[in-house]
């Protein structure tokens, strides 16, 4: 893998990750006349739940469902410059033009309306876009094993760097796929958020992991993984270094977790052989997911890893892939119980989903 860093016309960073050193040099210049990016993000604390909420009103003007010939994530062509100046690329990462969080946001008062109950802070972090391929019509599951390996290297590179930024407490790589999920750019891509706080879900996982380790002297996720392997009923795929399974308390009608067999805090900690092994296993899982309803499955793929400053010895890296599609043409809506009280009601058992996924042709 070869890494080449550059700048876009408005000063945002762009980094090319090529499958091999023999790829063409990445020297194209962004010819657009762009104003310097000036995001106005801030975060406010909900005093009732102690959860931070990001405010990013400047994102209202972001690109929304453009036609394929105007896709901003495709390579640039003569007369039509895009976010990627090169005429072709393997994997590319760049700072989001419409970020929810950014380093250059202005300071804000520490409270809203001077009320101590309503804490407020700058939305200081970073949001990056990860393009998996220059081919607009491909999906992640259609990538080659070697390309997925390059993507993993790109994720690991960004996690290592973003974790060093001032004020960043958690780094979250993810992919949204499909209009049912809310995707507004159909080009195969993901994102990485570097938050100035620990997210609610991760905070709860850290708390659970710390309590379990204090009581048992073992990592919680490791014991969960061993229990899943002993039961076997929910295991979908196994390899030398990874296990894919449907969680025993799965929230979503389709949900698979991919976890390394050894404890690793974050993506940057994966060894070379673990990265190779993940690339093959993940493609197998994605093929099974697309075969489940004999159609491209809309999904969210979310990397859960240790925050920057807490839980490093207790957390266990894993990828959660889940879908809102409960049948071939029916969506699982997050209605009253899920959205109002965060209590999920699943219409299918995890064992049923695991059995169906094992039965698909990958």
Cα 319 to chain centroid distance, Å, stands at 9
Residues 185 and 236 both lie in one domain: no
Q: Is 318 annotated as a binding residue?
A: no
**Confidence at residue 61, expressed as pLDDT on a 0 to 100 scale:** 55
- The alpha-carbon radius of gyration of the chain (Å, integer) is 21
Q: Is 187 annotated as a binding residue?
A: yes
Residues 58 and 168 both lie in one domain: yes
361 is catalytic: no
Over residues 74-121, the pLDDT tens digits come to: 999 999 999 999 999 999 999 999 999 999 999 999 999 999 999 999
Number of domains in the chain: 2
**14 token code pair:** 């762009």
**Contacts for 20-26: CB closer than 8 Å, 24+ residues apart:** 23/90, 24/86, 24/88, 26/86, 26/89
Range of the domain at 44: 2-197
Q: Is 361 annotated as a binding residue?
A: no
User: Are 7 and 32 spatial neighbours (Cβ–Cβ below 8 Å)?
Assistant: no
The active-site residue, picked from 189, 241, 304, 318, is 189
**57 token code pair:** 């009103």
**Confidence at residue 62, expressed as pLDDT on a 0 to 100 scale:** 55
Residues 14 and 138 both lie in one domain: yes
Residues 61 and 141 both lie in one domain: yes
Q: Is 71 annotated as a binding residue?
A: yes
**How many percent of the chain have pLDDT more than 90?**
89
User: 249 pLDDT exceeds 80?
Assistant: yes
Q: Read off the pLDDT band of 323 (50, 70, 90).
A: very high
Output the pTM of the full model. Answer: 0.95
Q: Read off the pLDDT band of 63 (50, 70, 90).
A: low
Q: What is the mean pLDDT of residues 302-323?
A: 97
Q: CB-based burial of residue 126 (10 Å sphere; 0-12 exposed, 13-18 middle, 19+ buried)?
A: buried
**Confidence at residue 18, expressed as pLDDT on a 0 to 100 scale:** 98
Residue at which a domain ends, from 197, 229, 253: 197
User: 68 pLDDT exceeds 90?
Assistant: no
């Amino acid at each position: 893998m070869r890494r080449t860093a550059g700048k876009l016309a408005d000063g945002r960073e762009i980094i090319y990750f090529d499958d091999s050193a023999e790829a063409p040099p990445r020297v194209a210049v962004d010819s657009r006349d762009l104003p310097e990016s000036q995001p106005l993000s801030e975060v406010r604390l909900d005093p009732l739940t102690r959860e931070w909420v990001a405010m990013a009103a400047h994102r209202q003007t972001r690109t929304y469902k453009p036609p394929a010939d105007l896709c901003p994530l495709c390579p640039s062509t003569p007369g039509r410059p895009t976010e990627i100046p090169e005429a072709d690329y393997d994997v590319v990462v760049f700072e989001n033009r419409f970020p929810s969080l950014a380093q250059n946001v202005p300071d804000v008062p520490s409270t809203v309306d001077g009320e101590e109950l309503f804490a407020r802070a700058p939305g200081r972090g970073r949001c990056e876009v990860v393009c998996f391929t220059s081919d607009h019509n491909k999906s992640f599951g259609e990538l080659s094993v070697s390309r997925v390996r390059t993507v993993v290297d790109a994720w690991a590179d960004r996690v290592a760097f973003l974790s060093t930024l001032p004020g960043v407490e958690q780094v979250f790589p993810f992919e949204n796929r499909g209009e049912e999920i809310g995707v507004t750019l159909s080009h195969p891509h993901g994102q990485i958020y570097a938050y100035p706080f620990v997210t609610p879900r991760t905070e709860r996982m850290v708390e659970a992991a710390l309590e379990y380790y204090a009581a048992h002297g073992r990592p919680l996720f490791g014991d969960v993984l061993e229990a899943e392997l002993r039961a076997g009923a929910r295991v979908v795929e196994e390899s030398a270094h990874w296990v894919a399974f449907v969680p025993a308390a799965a929230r979503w009608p389709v949900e698979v977790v991919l976890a390394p067999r050894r404890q690793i805090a974050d993506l940057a900690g994966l060894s070379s052989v673990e990265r190779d092994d993940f690339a093959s296993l993940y493609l197998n899982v994605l093929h099974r997911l697309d075969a489940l309803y004999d159609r491209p499955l809309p999904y969210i793929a979310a990397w859960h890893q240790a925050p920057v400053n807490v839980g490093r010895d207790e957390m266990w890296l894993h990828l959660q892939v889940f879908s809102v599609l409960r049948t071939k043409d029916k969506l699982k809506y997050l209605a009253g119980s899920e959205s109002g009280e965060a209590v999920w009601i699943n219409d299918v058992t995890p064992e049923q989903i695991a059995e169906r996924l094992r039965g698909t042709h990958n």
